[in-house]
Amino acid sequence: MVDVGVARSALMTDGAEHMVAPVDMPRRLWRGVTLATFADAGSGGAGADQPYGLIENGAVITQGSHIAWVGRESELPAQAAPDEEHDGGGALLTPGLIDAHTHLVYGGDRAAEFEQRLQGATYEDIARAGGGIMSTVRATRAASEEELLAQATARATVLLHEGVTTIEIKSGYGLSAEHERRSLAVARRIATQLPITVRTTSLALHAVPPEFAGRADDYVTESARWLRAQHAEGLVDAVDAFCERIAFSPAQVARIFAVARELGLPVKLHAEQLSDSGGTAMAATFDALSCDHLEYLSADGVQAMQRSGSVAVLLPGAYYMLRETQLPPVAGLRGGGVALALATDHNPGTSPTLSLLLMLNMACTLFRLTPEEAWRGVTVHAARALGLRDRGRLLPGMRADFALFDAGHPRELAYRIGGTPCRRVICGGQDVRRS
């Protein structure tokens, strides 16, 4: 048994809000479950010798907001004495899912653009004609803060009901000082409406707004000023950019990344989505937490990620929606030991999905990930892509974020297409959803 004292000393936190609970917090026992702990040889922990860290007839003890013990029910410590006991009824208990790449705050939708694309217009054609991202920018600016909050909270609720307990949310549909700030503030406020953790990312370099047409370098300079102010207000956890021929060059992105580094903020990048623009290699020089999309990533780009330890966040929803045929270099990334994560990339243009479980299926079917790789991609590797070391696995000392599913084995959830088999969601030790 690992007692709470050990659990507390093993805990790695990323900030005061994630500190371990005091020892007088209630102890809750979860029994009658199959556990997918995602422990492995490197991390140790119960189940490390099995694929998925699987433990049949498992149990978890939480103390306050953190995990105190994980193992077989038959090995439960005699002195466990929980304050509450929950019978999982044979459910599958996994770490809370982590959606490491979303654009959840925006106004309007792009269903008309979807029709145009089906009639032959390409994503780039529409963007160059002032539609695409810019049409969502117009709708986002026109919406009130309360409207944006209500819509984004509704979207986050759908994710939560599927077992997602941590969500990264990017700005990038405001593209002015006022509207970028407001998007980040709305993202922060979602965590006051729902029990989830929200990590915010500034994505001012998503597109050049009309006010700066033909002056992209000036826009980068201006957005660096906004970033300093947003950071001073505590609104930003990371900095991202869209590095692409229709967006920003590696040299332009490097300028905002240099400011991020100065402010102590980690960076991530939309890289090699539509073409090989060399963004990944540049991002590696800034020790990027992740590079995302990566369909056009070259062998050199893979090596750069290997060296920097950046996580590859694959986004099968956007690949599918754009009817892309260029596959991300999964075999190369896997062979190079680059950690693979998956996310919804929820956005109104290229990935209007709110199902991270569907992304498990798509990653297996379209990208040929194994179901276990897909699962690690929405748990342990997704946590890494956000720089969070206190979640993504069921280990003593980690946050007690988990989900219970009507399934006997995690691979069933990668195999199903659609449906919501999530039965219960626990955030920070609290039962927040019971169906």
Binding positions for ligand DI6, rule: CB under 6 A: 132-133, 136, 206, 242, 270, 273, 318, 345, 347-350
> What percent helix, strand, coil does the chain show, rounded to 5?
40, 25, 40
Give the residue ranges of DSSP H helices in 322-431.
Answer: 330-335, 356-367, 371-377, 380-385, 411-415
270-289: which residues touch Fe ion (CB under 5 A)?
none
Residue 384 contact among Fe ion, ligand DI6, none, beta carbon within 5 to 8 Å by kind: none
The piece of 63-71, 130-138, 221-229, 340-348 that touches Fe ion (CB under 5 A) is 340-348
Partner whose footprint covers residue 132, from Fe ion, ligand DI6, none (CB < 5 to 8 Å by kind): ligand DI6
Q: Which of 91, 151, 37 is nearest to 431 (CA)?
A: 91
Nearer to Fe ion, 35 or 311 (CB): 311
CA dist 206 and 137 (Å) reads: 10
- Nearest CB to ligand DI6, comparing residues 152 and 426: 152
Q: 111 vs 26, 93, 155, 387, CA distance in Å?
A: 48, 36, 17, 34
Q: Please, which residue, 93 or 274, has the CB nearer to ligand DI6?
A: 274
Neighbouring residues of 104: CB distance < 8 A, sequence distance ≥ 6: 152, 155, 156, 167, 169, 187, 190, 346
242 interacts with, out of Fe ion, ligand DI6, none, CB within 5 to 8 A per kind? ligand DI6
Q: Which of 162, 345, 372, 401 is in the footprint of Fe ion by CB under 5 A?
A: 345
Q: Which is nearer to ligand DI6, 270 or 399 (CB)?
A: 270
Sign of the dihedral defined by the CA atoms of residues 164, 170, 171, 173, in that order = negative
Least separation in angstroms between CB 345 and Fe ion: 4
Smallest distance from the beta carbon of 101 to Fe ion, in angstroms? 6
Residue 28 vs 206, nearer CB to ligand DI6: 206
Taking CB positions, which residue lies at the least distance from ligand DI6? 349
Smallest distance, ligand DI6 to C-beta of residue 420, A = 25
The nearer residue to ligand DI6, 114 or 154, going by C-beta atoms, is 114
Using CB atoms within 10 Å of the CB of residue 86, give its burial: 0 to 12 exposed, 13 to 18 middle, 19+ buried: buried
**Smallest distance, Fe ion to C-beta of residue 333, A:** 18
For the CB of residue 253, give the shortest distance to Fe ion in the complex, in Å: 14
3-state secondary structure string across 225-247: HHHHHHHHCCCCCEEEEEECCCC
Smallest gap from residue 203 Cβ to ligand DI6 (A): 8
Give which of Fe ion, ligand DI6, none residue 350 binds (C-beta under 5 to 8 Å, depending on kind): ligand DI6
Count of other CB atoms within 10 angstroms of residue 419: 12
Q: Which is nearer to ligand DI6, 136 or 230 (CB)?
A: 136
- DSSP secondary structure letters along 242-299: EESTTSB-HHHHHHHHHHHHHHT--BEEEESSSS--SHHHHHHTTT-SEEEE-TT--H
Site residues (CB under 5 A) for Fe ion? 345
